[in-house]
Structure 1
């Protein structure tokens, strides 16, 4: 079987320790995505923000019965667990990394869920761990960035970038109808004004601006940059972003 595992991802399980807590309700007031759309086989991309609307963690939400699984960066999984536990207070909710599960990805995997951001990214799913250490992390990153899609703290930053500047609206990572959540006020205001002044973009290294650079991938010939919209008009942008910028009022 062709390898599909993403070894740089981890899975956090959030569950009711006494069987009575509403896990979706707990997350509804925290994350950018509307939890009513997190259904079995229908993952949603979302984030946990600061009160000012800057992204701290981005991740995928999965329904697993009454539990919710969070598909997140492995290097920052424990930090995300710790952050979520701050909001738990005395509620009987378990929040732990599930070592028995792994995240998988393939560009062609009939029957698996499509990436909720862009169908062109491919398919991702969660499965029980098996033996072996192979991964497709490098292939996944190269394909994702070729489509202009950024993710993770190296690219988005932590408490550095407003969520809408991460192209969250265009990549379906935010609900504007769900009501309050952490960082909602500033995010909603930006959307109402229909003016996002800066964007995260994937730039060929030949066109890189180190002052605006978040991270460079020399092996891929790419630079991830936080640029003003006025400074990206001459770039070869992905269709989904070019279409969004064309609709933005002057």
Structure 2
């Protein structure tokens, strides 16, 4: 297996200029002040209704310059440009020149690579940004990375949530440090704060276990014919599902089995997750 894996669906967007921090802080769920050359700010961009759009990992190689690891970088850069107006900001999609990914052994990467801990979980491989190079076949490396991520119960919101439909609190983003509930206003803040204050988050991504191959993405999870969730990303033996906990826990307490198609499903929330009561 390779010592690192690049993420083909993710890329790098550079935001720089005197007004870069102000622009980003007004749009994202976390302020970018904590970003540095090896320090990452984990955050998201939402719709005005508080629905998920983009999951972001931001570092700052120098003052006033922010490198953003994001899925669908061209779409993100375009949407960000809509908010720029007269701000003194430059927005560049650098995905053709740089790759982003995860690394088990930093020595395997070029010397001009930036790598930093993944803020979502201490046991995940470090993330990196590096000049784009030709890579050998890395299917095994990506599979190993996904098994690690899913085994820890860590969502990849770009893969596990539906854009413009799901909420980031359903994706455990606040529990992974991606939401600052004390910062100033940002797009989608009202709904996000309301959900947190009123503890209305009954549906969350949760690690699940099963025998054999994963059920297909969006396979309904049923208990006695009633839907209690839907499968999201899965791997051999375990994966993540979006679970309506009040329904699922009631079904389990009544001795009903959860099933995705013909497969029995067991809820297996990780110890760091806040399970809805």
| TM-score, structure 2 as length reference | 0.76
Q: What per-residue deviation string (whole Å, max 9, x for no partner) do you get for residues 173-207 of structure 1? A: 11011110001111112222234211012323559
Q: Whose Rg is larger?
A: 2
Root-mean-square deviation (Å): 2.6
1:165 corresponds to which of 170, 175, 180 = 170
Aligned 8 A contact 2:160 2:233 in 1: no
Q: Helix, strand or coil: the match of 1:164? A: coil
1:220 corresponds to which of 225, 230, 236 = 236
| 1:1-250 map, 5 Å | 2-8=2-8, 9-16=10-17, 21-65=18-62, 66-73=64-71, 76-98=72-94, 99-107=96-104, 109=106, 112-135=115-138, 136-205=141-210, 209=221, 212-217=229-234, 220-231=236-247, 233=249, 235-241=267-273, 244-245=274-275
Q: CA deviation at 1:12?
A: 0.9
Distance 1:120 1:188, change over 3 A: same
Aligned 8 A contact 1:13 1:95 in 2: yes
Aligned 8 A contact 1:5 1:102 in 2: no
Aligned 8 A contact 1:216 1:222 in 2: no
Q: Helix, strand or coil: the match of 1:72? A: strand
Q: Helix, strand or coil: the match of 2:102? A: strand
Q: What per-residue deviation string (whole Å, max 9, x for no partner) do you get for residues 133-164 of structure 1? A: 44433322221111111114331110111111
Aligned 8 A contact 1:205 1:216 in 2: no
| TM-score, structure 1 as length reference | 0.84
Q: CA deviation at 1:78?
A: 1.2
Q: Helix, strand or coil: the match of 1:121? A: coil
Which segments of 5 or more consecutive residues in structure 2 lack a partner in the other structure?
Answer: 108-113, 253-266
Q: Which protein has the bigger strand share?
A: 2
Q: What per-residue deviation string (whole Å, max 9, x for no partner) do you get for residues 33-85 of structure 1? A: 12111222111221100112111111211112121111112xx2211111111
Report the number of matched residues: 238
User: Higher relative contact order by CA 8 Å / sep ≥ 6: 1 or 2?
Assistant: 1
